[in-house]
Amino acid sequence: MTGRLAALTGATGFLGRSLCETLTSRGWRLRVLARPDARPPADAEAIVGRLADEGALARLAEGAQLVIHVAGLVKARTPAGFGPVNVLGARHMAEAAARQAPDARFILVSSLSAREPQLSAYAASKAAGEAAAKAVLAPERLTIVRPPAIYGPGDRETLALFRAAARLPALPSPGPAAARLALIHVSDAAAQIASLAERPANGATWALADARPEGYGWRQIVDEAARAVGRRPRLLPTPRAAILALGAAGSLAGRIGPAQIMTLGKAREALHGDWGVRPEELAPGLEPPRFDLASGFADAVAWYRAQGWL
């Protein structure tokens, strides 16, 4: 096979699959890291292994012109559970790229939450992953990307919002009324990352966003989710103490059972309220997003219904 080679971790995940489709459409040849039980994209060369497997990471990175580290945990049973993937995984992938692909650009997909590492173990792990990559790679090789909340076809976390909007007469507000939350459709996030891959790296950290980077209020998000499923549930103001209690219950449940997305750390993130993207955080000249909130939510709901998820 000929063409530019892009090596990816996280290619079998929500964002990773969309990014693989976008890179392929732009002429990249793909090599991806895949767990033994995962199903990699059909048009990609698969390297079977995990982020702790030095040999697999070396084979993944060898000869690549572009390395994109997408793999990450969004939920873990304990705070320490984020470290092996979000911190050590970033370091191991950066080290493999430094050895096996010394001329490759390296894109680390982090999270907007890394801006506020004091709020949660997840946010702290993403900030630490950024620091780990910076410690290994020179600025002229590294670009860090901080997406906000990503939604769209294939996302199981945002699915809960649409299911609640479809079934419940009233929904609790996940955060304060004045809060602002930037969002981006998965295909727009993939397109923006692919665009950054075409630019020389300079050690910069860029956030992603849709056409409204300042973000949306919770009422608008819930209203649009309800409209997308054909419902109009009421939005109930939720006391701060209740949100923290829900998060604490999720943290406890995760310690004795499956990891939960709603933990005490996530509750603190929701209550923080300032998750808009500032103008100086955006890379100049990126192509405009295809989806606004209404069309993006409608696209997600259509996919969920077609798959029988909703």
Query: Which neighbouring-strand residues pair with 235?
Result: 171
For the chain, how many helices (H) and strands (E)?
10, 13
pLDDT in tens, 100-148: 999 999 999 999 999 999 999 999 999 999 999 999 999 999 999 999 9
Query: Which neighbouring-strand residues pair with 33?
Result: 47
| Domains along the chain with CATH numbers | 4-154+183-215+276-291 (3.40.50.720)
3-state secondary structure of 107: strand
- Residue 298 contacts by C-beta under 8 Å, 6 or more apart in sequence? 228
Mean pLDDT throughout 85-103?
Answer: 97
Mean pLDDT throughout 218-238?
Answer: 88
Answer whether 175's CB lies under 8 Å from 271's CB.
yes
| pLDDT of the residue at 2 | 57
3-state secondary structure of 5: strand
The reported pTM is: 0.93
Query: Is a pLDDT exceeding 70 seen at residue 20?
Result: yes
Answer whether 112's CB lies under 8 Å from 298's CB.
no
Query: Is a pLDDT exceeding 50 seen at residue 224?
Result: yes
3-state secondary structure of 131: helix
Long-range contacts of 34-37 (CB under 8 A, 24+ apart): none
